[in-house]
Amino acid sequence: MFGVFRRKIVSGSSSSALIIGKSWRRARPVASTAAEGEILLHTRIIGYARSICHAIQPGSAVNLRPLREVMTSLQPGVSIQLQNRMFSSDSGDLVDAMVPFMGESISDGTLATFLKKPGDRVEIDEPIAQVETDKVTIDVASPEAGIIQEFVAKEGDTVEPGTKVAIISKSAEGAAAAPSKPATSEAASQPPPAADVAEKPKQKVETAPVIEKPKPASPPPPKTSASEPQLPPKERERRVPMTRLRKRVATRLKDSQNTFALLTTFNEVDMTNLMKLRSEYKDAFLEKHGVKLGLMSGFVKAAVSGLQNQPIINAVIDGDDIIYRDYVDISIAVGTPKGLVVPVIRNADKMNFAEIEKEINTLAKKANNGTISIDEMAGGSFTISNGGVYGSLLSTPIINPPQSAILGMHSIVTKPMVVGGNIVPRPMMYIALTYDHRLIDGREAVFFLRRIKDVVEDPRRLLLDI
């Protein structure tokens, strides 16, 4: 920003007109005959303001003592009259709304939708647009309170951090003046009124009679063979571009299928005791901890026990090495309207049932609201996917890279089972473990799944550590 200060120099006998440039120390005379001159001071705030005054702030006085000293030393006896005006900027009313920093591993995103329209009033930090990345959706907030003057980007554009999305006017005048410009151009492009056209003299134009030629008969439509399929018309189809989240999920799952030697083993779990435990203590659990007791916390605790008994399930291949993890971070697959996200429960091996339920509840709400952060989904050493909430009876889940295994839960179905020589109805669930056979052998995979089965069917094993 630049400011201009005008100074008048008055002398009794003679005076000199000076132009002081970037620094008051580098003054040079320009004329010596004028009875009255002007001093024009052009400077930048950053770099040169300190050499002229201590500080230049809106509404504050300017310290011109160094200027007086220079003028006194150059022209003895010269008196100086100073006329000042405020340092200002012509573009102070308009501010730009830009794409914020989106994370270390995210370089760009897609401008998914605008939450406001030009002319709408916005408050400071109010979201005006959403940028969709490979992992999360990020809001573009208004830096100041004001009125949206215009959007400089379009939906579907690829944007990077720092890209300007909108122009905000801090006053209503700037926004009201913007729509008037296109109206002027539209008025110029409109045809002249009918009255003006009528005033022009009409010229008589003679036209020759038009002879219509007979149109050739259109050829009959080609006959289709009986074996040719009848495709539906294109008007009944809709083409919608994939979201960045969906493309990212598709890429990661295909890479998992191409990289890992996927193998799935199954087992069946009797849910009687775990469901009985929840039924007996759910009211007391809710009253004390403020969260409902679900089945997922029991499976998380069972998975922690299984990973501690079979550390190879918690390991991962890195080149020619095997990395063993001495911590247990459980990823929970959550299906949202925008796609699949996998928030992580950190240090699940050090949490009790209540802490696990609270963390699952918090992460699930953030995932469904679209407010979950990248850090809350990064990492994870093992994944649990519960397709049973959608009614899945059996499935083979795909590993979430760079992990080595994933546990699949399914719906609970009442089946006739033989217990103590008698056929009784039991709530049963199929569980599946998909693992990387390059690292994990079938023996360790089956032992791990058996540990899940034993702990879920008898939760007292967790208390006794057996």
Q: Which sequence positions are flagged as catalytic?
A: 437, 441
165 in Cβ contact with 129 (< 8 Å)? yes
Pairing of strands 17-20, 27-31: antiparallel
Specify the 3-state DSSP secondary structure of 416: strand
Sign for the pseudo-dihedral over CA of 94, 97, 101, 106: negative
Q: Which residue has the tokens 């890195």?
A: 318
Taking the C-alpha atoms of residue 403 and residue 342, their distance in angstroms, rounded to an integer, is 12
The helix/strand count (H/E) of the chain reads as 11, 23
Residue type for position 288 = K
- C-alpha distances out from residue 340 to 100, 128, 132, 245, 253, Å: 24, 25, 14, 8, 11
Q: Which residues, at least 6 apart from 55, have a Cβ–Cβ distance to it below 8 Å?
A: 49, 63
Report H helices in 336-384: 353-369
Provide the token pair at 163: 């890209």
CA distance linking residue 160 with residue 101, whole number of Å: 8
Q: Within 95-179, where are the H helices? A: 172-177
Q: Rounded to the nearest 5 degrees, what angle is found at the Cα of 291, between the Cα atoms of 286 and 295?
A: 95
* Secondary structure in 3-state letters for 272-308: HHHHHHHHHHHHHHHHHHCCCCCCHHHHHHHHHHHHH
Residue 388 is which amino acid? G
Cα angle 367, 370, 375; round to 5: 65
Buried b (16+ CB within 10 A) or exposed e, 133-158: bbbbbbebbbbbebbbbebebeeeee
Asked if 90 contacts 134 with a C-beta cutoff of 8 angstroms, the reply is: no
d(CA 221, CA 241): 35
Helix (H) or strand (E) holding 68: helix 65-74
Asked if the bond preceding 402 is cis, omega within 30° of 0, the reply is: yes
